[in-house]
Structure 1
Amino acid sequence: MNTVLHKAVTRGQANHGWLQSKHTFSFANYHNPERMHFGTLRVLNDDIVAPSMGFGTHPHRDMEIISIPLEGDLEHKDSMGNTAVIKSGDIQVLSAGSGITHSEYNKNSNSEVKFLQIWVLPNKKGVTPRYDQITLNTIDRENKLQQILSPTPEDAGVWIHQNAWFHITNLEQGNTVNYALKNPDKNGVYAFILKGDATINHQNLNKRDGFGVWGVDSLDIHADSSTEILLMEVPMTL
């Protein structure tokens, strides 16, 4: 078993006034050569956007961009003509492919938006850009694993151009779940603790800690307190 531990306090930080962001991996002005990526997981940003503020129109190319809102309402507009609002319980995916521009704004004038911005390197370049979002039934993650992303449109959740699977679980204190890797020979899992405390394969973890594991067939996840965990299984080879 191979592991990497990223404690919450070791993340890169950026405070732009309207945006507070914490970077698990190198991003923008935060550069750490030892934290460039976990396999094909390239970006994991923990963002807070001030009321009525946001990211102006900007381009992306050849990247799978996943947004998971935690609090508030985030408005998305893109060059494909999509306008949508995502909120807690939703998941959004943008396959940038051959090139796209988009913007993201806090829809509300009196409350912050908190969301995760995740980038995954694709297994195909130059694909036709694509946008999708779904609303998840959060009951389906209570004391069990809810799949929210996969490599195929027919599977549960949104899909991306990569052999990746994302799951979320909400565990009550004392409960345990086991995650079996879909492709243990090639993939690893990066666990991100959204809230609470957990032990994963004997590693104690706290809120906003990140823990990467590869070279295993499964993960044993125990809730040391009421906890919410995002699991991201991705290929370890770029």
Structure 2
Amino acid sequence: MIIGRAAHECGKADYGWLQARYTFSFGHYFDPKLLGYASLRVLNQEVLAPGASFQPRVYPNVDVLNIILQGGAEYRDSEGKHTVAQTGEAVLLATQSGIIYSEHNLSKTTPLTRMQLWLDASPERENSPVQRISTRRAPYALLASPTGNRGSLKLRQQVWIHHLMLEKGEQQRVRLHGPRAYLQSIHGSLQVQTPASETRRLVCGDGAFIAEENQLELIATTPTQALVIDLPV
């Protein structure tokens, strides 16, 4: 089953220094039916003005995945850890109780555009505080997983995140651990088809809830960047 979540249905914010689109309830945007999906708590696309910073904050027990789409970001925490990520990279922060985190747009002229995901972290799992990876490794790559296999980022949860960059007409099959997944079009448009031949078209910014499926067939109808977030737990 595929249930669409069109970009225009998402929550939006414009503070001047920040423009944002929220898939689930976040900040001032609240929908009691959209508090997350399985262990996926947050899925935001945000544009931070040149030179601007997010207010330093303490997170709940989550893994925070930032996928840099344009620009450069600097991340710091109150224990002195520091990393920089540029266009085409992703940073995973294994947040800890009581630690303050900050994010800053390094450029004085270019906006910082990125996707941000929060995933509930298992309290029994420990992980490296900061991990970084290129998102340009292949047209299809495992971006994050519970074990860090195939060179992926290691999560503290039973979640597999697949990253796709497909040219027009290319297709990719993604096998799921089931029974839930979320598909997000970052750029471009694509068709998604299930083994039961249910088909849905997504355009830029659209998402889709996937339920009770074991694989997806994705076909790019324009050059496309997308995520498949496999959420079996």
TM norm. shorter chain > 0.5:
yes
- The CA deviation string for residues 107-165 of structure 1, in whole angstroms up to 9 with x for no partner, is 0111100011110112226x667422323261412xxx211101114542111110111
* Aligned-pair CA distance for 1:45: 0.8
Q: 2:163 is matched by which residue type in structure 1?
A: I
For the 8 Å contact 1:44–1:119, the answer to whether it is kept is: yes
TM-score, normalising length: structure 1: 0.90
Query: Which among 194, 198, 202 is matched to residue 190 of structure 2?
Result: 198
1:27 deviation in Å?
0.3
Match for 2:228 among 205, 214, 231? 231
Residue from 142, 148, 153 that aligns with 1:147: 142
User: Hey, what does 2:196 align to over in structure 1?
Assistant: none
Q: Counterpart in 2 of 1:82? A: 81
CA distance in 2, matches of 1:150, 1:22: 25
Q: Give per-residue Cα distances to partners, 1:190-238, cap 9 Å, x unaligned.
A: 1111111101021011001001112111001011112111111123x5x
Residue 165 and residue 99 in structure 1: after superposition, are their counterparts in 2 closer, same or farther (change >3 A)?
farther
Matches within 5 A, 1:92-171: 92-124=91-123, 130-136=128-134, 138-141=136-139, 145-171=140-166
Q: Which amino acid aligns with 1:136?
A: S
Secondary structure, counterpart of 1:194 in structure 2: strand
Deviation at 1:87, TM superposition (A): 1.2
Q: Distance in 1 between matches of 2:170 and 2:54?
A: 39
Structure 1 residues 128, 164: CA separation in 2 closer, same or farther (over 3 Å shift)? closer
8 Å Cα contact 2:145/2:161 also seen in 1:
yes
Counterpart check, 1:188 vs 2:180:
yes
For the aligned residue pairs, the C-alpha RMSD in angstroms reads: 1.7
Query: What is the one-letter code of the residue matched to 1:138?
Result: R
Q: Percent identity?
A: 26
Q: 1:84 to 1:43 in 2, by over 3 A?
A: same
For structure 2, the residue ranges without an aligned partner over 5 or more in a row are 194-198
Matches within 5 A, 1:26-65: 26-65=25-64
Moved more, 221-230 or 131-140: 131-140
CA contact under 8 A between 2:42 and 2:119: conserved in structure 1? yes
What is the number of residues matched between the two proteins? 228
Distance 2:225 2:203 in 1: 10
CA change 1:55–1:118 in 2 (3 A) is same
